[in-house]
Amino acid sequence: MNLKTVFDGLTLENPLLPASGPLVGDLEKLLFMRDEAGCGAVVTKTISTKAPKIPKPCIYSDKHYIMNSELWSEHPLSTWVEDILPAYQKNNDRPLIISVGYSKADMQELIPQLEQFADAFEVSTHYVGTDLNKIKETVETIRSLTDKPFYMKISPHIPDPAAYAKTIKAAGANGVAAINSLGPTMNINLENRAIEYGAEDGFVWTSGPVIKNLALATVYKIKNAEPDLTVIGVGGIAKAEDVLEFLLAGADAVQMLSAALLKGKQLYKKIIDDLPGTLEKYGFASIEAVKSTILEKRVDYKDKLPWLIEEKCIECMLCVKTCPYFAIEFKDRITFDPAKCFSCGLCVSICPTDAIKMDTVGD
Ligand SMILES: Cc1cc2nc3c(=O)[nH]c(=O)nc-3n(C[C@H](O)[C@H](O)[C@H](O)COP(=O)(O)O)c2cc1C
């Protein structure tokens, strides 16, 4: 099965990359992503011009999300340029995307020193606010400093992803990495009556499976606004199916971090190994075939009543308990009241055994 994805002159043997963060913060971790995880390209932790003061603790895990107050790389630029990147480039056989941040002035210092090591750049503007004029200036500055491809990483607090896409394309960027973590968010420890995690202001950034649908929508909005931009999807990816969903939404490749913090670093290799079977299961011949598939606008359940596949029903009553319209009852079997049913679809998606169906228009 062909897992290759090609964009901006870069050829990736598979579409999964690590997202910028602690798992790509030094040589050992970059080599892990390349040689053990087998990622199609490797992205670095964001490098900037001044060393940050990172509040500790800085990573918190719940079941479906990660919260963090980590900043950019704790290693100074000189350590990356003199030690980490030269060592990484020995025997390197795949694209390296160097993540840099944040301002126009930072770019003037960073890009010339890092260019010799980079196949492409990813640019975080996470801490520079939402002013598109500032982002435009940063893009123009980078374009004047390098011919290499670069991807502007969009933060979810940017209000209009389509306007962001148009601005950065006009200013010379190759694409967008969408999205950075969501926030500011907060974590309260009830026992300690304390804000346990976070920067000095008490705020943290949230990532992982809970932000997947926001990331998908952002990818979709950007690709629709500017179809010629490369889009790298990131946010909440945790399995091979998620990778295909992002490609259908318009991504050319994807990145993952939080799911590996929740489930373990072996998840990168597992997802890459699972991709051929998952492509086959959903009827795709290759990654490029997923990318070129036009997404159906929407499934239409309008005015339809759910129905039960009795042999699959385990009578757990979850649909009865959760139906917001009081339309499901148990009378020897699950029954749906056509007078009350709103065709909302919750019962179909919540059923743990897939025993409830709703015909779509055209069935
Ligand atoms: C602990 C942690 C550190 C991160 N550091 C960076 C960073 O240095 N630069 C950056 O662009 N994004 C950083 N991110 C954001 C991730 O790259 C990614 O955009 C976000 O977590 C969403 O993807 P995920 O849900 O797969 O984690 C960080 C995220 C976490 C959880």
Q: Which of 262, 291, 320 is the last residue of a domain?
A: 291
Strand 96-101 relative to strand 120-124, pairing = parallel
At 300 the pLDDT is 72
Omega of the bond prior to 227 within 30 degrees of 0, cis?
no
At 362 the pLDDT is 58
- Write the residue with the smallest CA distance to atom 12 of ligand 1: 20
CB contact at 8 A, 215 and 233:
yes
Task: For residue 74, give Cα distances in angstroms to 37, 70, 84.
Answer: 24, 10, 13
> How far, in Å, CA of 356 to CA of 274, rounded?
28
Counting from 1 in the atom list of ligand 1, the atom nearest the Cα of 66 is 31
CB contact at 8 A, 233 and 251:
yes
What is the whole-number distance in angstroms between the Cα of residue 276 and the centre of ligand 1?
27
At 197 the pLDDT is 82
Checking if the pLDDT of 360 tops 80, the result is: no
Are 219 and 325 found together in one domain?
Answer: no
Instruction: Give mean pLDDT, residues 198-211.
Output: 93
CB contact at 8 A, 176 and 222:
yes
CB contact at 8 A, 204 and 60:
yes
Instruction: Give mean pLDDT, residues 305-312.
Output: 95
- Residues 8-37 pLDDT 10s: 999 999 999 999 999 999 999 999 999 999
Tell me, what CATH number does 25's domain have? 3.20.20.70
- Write the residue with the smallest CA distance to atom 14 of ligand 1: 21
Give a yes or no: residue 363 inside a domain: no
Checking if the pLDDT of 363 tops 60, the result is: no
Instruction: Give mean pLDDT, residues 276-298.
Output: 94
Are 236 and 316 found together in one domain?
Answer: no
List the one residue out of 215, 152, 156, 210 whose CA is nearest residue 182.
Answer: 156
What is the whole-number distance in angstroms between the Cα of residue 352 and the centre of ligand 1?
31
**Domain boundaries, position 53:** 5-291
Checking if the pLDDT of 301 tops 80, the result is: no
| pTM: predicted TM-score of the whole model, two decimal places | 0.96
- Write the residue with the smallest CA distance to atom 3 of ligand 1: 21
At 81 the pLDDT is 98
Are 262 and 205 found together in one domain?
Answer: yes
> How far, in Å, CA of 34 to CA of 11, rounded?
15
Phi, psi of 362 (to 5 degrees): 105, -20
Checking if the pLDDT of 347 tops 90, the result is: yes
Are 244 and 343 found together in one domain?
Answer: no
Are 316 and 239 found together in one domain?
Answer: no
Checking if the pLDDT of 310 tops 70, the result is: yes
At 87 the pLDDT is 98
> How far, in Å, CA of 188 to CA of 163, rounded?
35
> How far, in Å, CA of 349 to CA of 137, rounded?
45
- Write the residue with the smallest CA distance to atom 6 of ligand 1: 21
At 303 the pLDDT is 67
Q: Could you give the percent of the chain with pLDDT greater than 70?
A: 98
Total domains in the fold of the chain: 2
What is the whole-number distance in angstroms between the Cα of residue 257 and the centre of ligand 1?
6
* Overall residue count recorded for the chain in this entry: 363
Checking if the pLDDT of 58 tops 90, the result is: yes
Are 199 and 311 found together in one domain?
Answer: no
> How far, in Å, CA of 291 to CA of 245, rounded?
10
pLDDT band, residue 111 (cuts 50/70/90): very high
- Write the residue with the smallest CA distance to atom 1 of ligand 1: 68
Lowest mean pLDDT among 54-68, 208-222, 263-277: 54-68
Rounded to the nearest 10 degrees, the angle between the axes of helix 240-249 and helix 212-225 is: 30
Checking if the pLDDT of 278 tops 90, the result is: yes
- More confident of the two residues 129 and 112: 112
What is the whole-number distance in angstroms between the Cα of residue 69 and the centre of ligand 1?
10
Q: Which two tokens stand for residue 178?
A: 């969408």
Checking if the pLDDT of 359 tops 90, the result is: no
At 198 the pLDDT is 83
List the one residue out of 90, 101, 128 whose CA is nearest residue 44.
Answer: 101
Are 346 and 255 found together in one domain?
Answer: no
Counting from 1 in the atom list of ligand 1, the atom nearest the Cα of 153 is 11
pLDDT band, residue 141 (cuts 50/70/90): very high
Pocket of ligand 1 (CB under 6 A): 19-22, 45-46, 59, 66, 68, 70, 72, 99, 124, 153, 180-181, 207-208, 211, 234-237, 256-259
Are 100 and 199 found together in one domain?
Answer: yes
Helix (H, G, I), strand (E, B) or coil at 194: strand
Give a yes or no: residue 336 inside a domain: yes
